[in-house]
């Protein structure tokens, strides 16, 4: 893999992280779910051991959430390319909500290249404080 190909994968995966935050803040749950591979799985920062698997189940989990106003700020995004079709990443997340104090956490991601482009194979959040 060339340096240019590696950097393109890193950029695509970092963009996926930013799109996730923006779509989440817009309450576009279908858009968020579409960022996952068909068999992708997620664990929210508030429940890092509680996995939801499959795009349909992820969409249902987001639709079941009560409405709220949020703003996610992503930083410290580092993507490591494993192969032309797989990558992993870590990012810091600052969450502001209309419901209380800001929360600081992180996401550990696995990415996979699908026919539709790069998608989350796994997204696991955790809270620092």
Chain CA centroid to CA 126, Å: 12
Round to whole Å and give the CA distance between 127 and 82: 26
- Summarised one tens digit per residue, pLDDT across range 44-71 is 999 999 999 999 999 999 999 988 899 9
Pick the CATH number of 3-127 from 3.40.50.720, 3.40.190.10, 3.10.450.50, 3.30.70.120: 3.10.450.50
Whether the model clears a pTM of 0.85, i.e. scores above it, the answer is: yes
Query: Under a CB-based contact definition with an 8 Å cutoff, are residues 93 and 107 in contact?
Result: yes
pLDDT at residue 4 is higher than 90:
yes
Cα–chain-centroid distance for residue 27?
14
pLDDT digits (tens, 9 = 90+) for 91-117: 999 999 988 899 999 999 999 999 999
The whole-chain average pLDDT of the chain stands at 96
Q: What would the DSSP string read from start to end of 72-86?
A: EEEEEEEEEEEETTE
Judge whether 36 and 30 are in contact, CB under 8 Å: no
- The closest of 44, 49, 48 to 32, measured between CA atoms, is 44
Beta bridge partners of 118: 113
Q: What is the largest CA-CA distance in the chain?
A: 46
**What burial class does residue 109 get, using C-beta atoms within 10 Å of its C-beta: 0-12 exposed, 13-18 middle, 19+ buried?**
buried
């Amino acid at each position: 893999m060339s340096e240019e190909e590696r950097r393109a994968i890193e950029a695509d995966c970092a963009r996926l992280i930013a799109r996730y935050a923006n779509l989440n803040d817009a309450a576009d749950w279908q858009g968020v779910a579409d960022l996952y591979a068909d068999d992708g799985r997620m664990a929210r920062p508030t429940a890092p051991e509680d996995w939801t698997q499959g795009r349909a189940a992820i969409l249902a989990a987001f639709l079941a959430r009560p409405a709220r106003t949020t703003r996610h700020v992503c930083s410290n995004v580092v993507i490591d390319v494993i192969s032309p079709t797989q990558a992993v990443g870590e990012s810091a997340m600052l969450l502001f909500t209309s419901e209380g104090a800001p929360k600081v956490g992180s996401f550990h991601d696995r990415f996979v290249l699908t026919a539709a482009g790069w998608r989350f194979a796994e997204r696991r959040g955790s809270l620092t404080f």
